[in-house]
């Protein structure tokens, strides 16, 4: 489970987002990071029950760095105030559809799909949804899937190459094929938290498999 001290560290980091404070509290960061790594390690083992490819995945390859790239940002805060893990094939750099766990006080969530996909892959995804509409609808209309919300970033029109009156038009206009569900902090601090997150991902797995199939 995620320890109370991990949430406490993130809250304090948000209030003191500077290198001096971080340096003085490096041990607390290391402890929090280790807690998240152990959580993800247990999560991968639980997820391997529905997808064995996760059994050998290194949890360190899933975790995003806490250091922000501020070169092109007006916000010069040096650190992220969350822990994020991208569980995807060989890790977060794989490029296909996968799963994401976001840990931030009051803003925790699980997600799955493809975010900021390159244009060619996104066109392939849209074509798959259009051609195999019945299969896609059977996945997203399943009772286990109804509690998940799609990312609401959309184009104003159906993208070029597709009919304007395509029955799947609203999904074709999506900029990101991602679904998510919020999680309470207390649920992640529960002894059953690993199973809860893994179960969320299991319910998202048919959606992920559908998207990855479009990549061949």
* pLDDT tens digits for range 96-123: 899 999 999 999 999 999 998 888 889 9
* pLDDT tens digits for range 34-44: 999 999 999 99
42 C-beta neighbours (distance < 10 Å), count: 17
Q: What is the dihedral of CA 5, 179, 66, 37, to 10 degrees?
A: 50
pLDDT bracket for residue 75 (50, 70, 90): confident
pTM of the model: 0.94
In order of 1, 30, 31, 85, 130, the CA distances from 37 in angstroms are 11, 10, 10, 9, 39
How high is the pLDDT of residue 149?
Answer: 96
Q: How far apart are CA 61 and CA 178, in angstroms?
A: 21
CATH architecture entry for 4-213: 2-Layer Sandwich (3.30)
Q: How do the domains of the chain map onto residue ranges? A: 4-213
How high is the pLDDT of residue 66?
Answer: 96
Task: Report the share of the chain in percent with pLDDT over 90.
Answer: 85
> Taking residues 76-103, what's their average pLDDT?
86
Q: How far apart are CA 27 and CA 167, in angstroms?
A: 54
């Amino acid at each position: 489970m995620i320890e109370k001290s991990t949430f406490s560290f993130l809250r304090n980091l948000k209030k003191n987002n500077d290198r001096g404070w971080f340096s003085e509290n490096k041990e607390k960061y290391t402890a929090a990071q280790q807690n998240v790594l152990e959580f993800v390690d247990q999560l991968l083992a639980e997820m391997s029950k529905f997808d064995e490819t996760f059994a050998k995945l290194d949890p360190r390859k899933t975790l995003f760095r806490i250091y922000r790239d501020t070169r092109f940002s007006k916000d010069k805060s040096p650190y992220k105030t969350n822990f994020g893990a991208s569980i995807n094939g060989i890790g977060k750099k794989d490029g296909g559809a996968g799963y994401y766990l976001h840990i931030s006080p009051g803003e925790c969530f699980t997600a799955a799909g493809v975010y900021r996909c390159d244009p060619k892959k996104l066109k392939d995804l849209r074509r798959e949804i259009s051609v195999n509409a019945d299969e896609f609808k059977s996945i997203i209309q399943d009772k286990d899937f109804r509690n998940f919300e799609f990312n609401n970033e959309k184009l104003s029109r159906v993208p070029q190459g597709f009919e304007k009156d395509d029955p799947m038009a609203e999904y074709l206009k999506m900029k990101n094929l991602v679904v998510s569900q919020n999680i309470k902090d207390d649920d992640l601090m529960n002894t059953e938290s690993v199973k809860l997150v893994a179960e969320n991902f299991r319910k998202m797995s048919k959606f992920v498999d559908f998207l990855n199939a479009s990549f061949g």
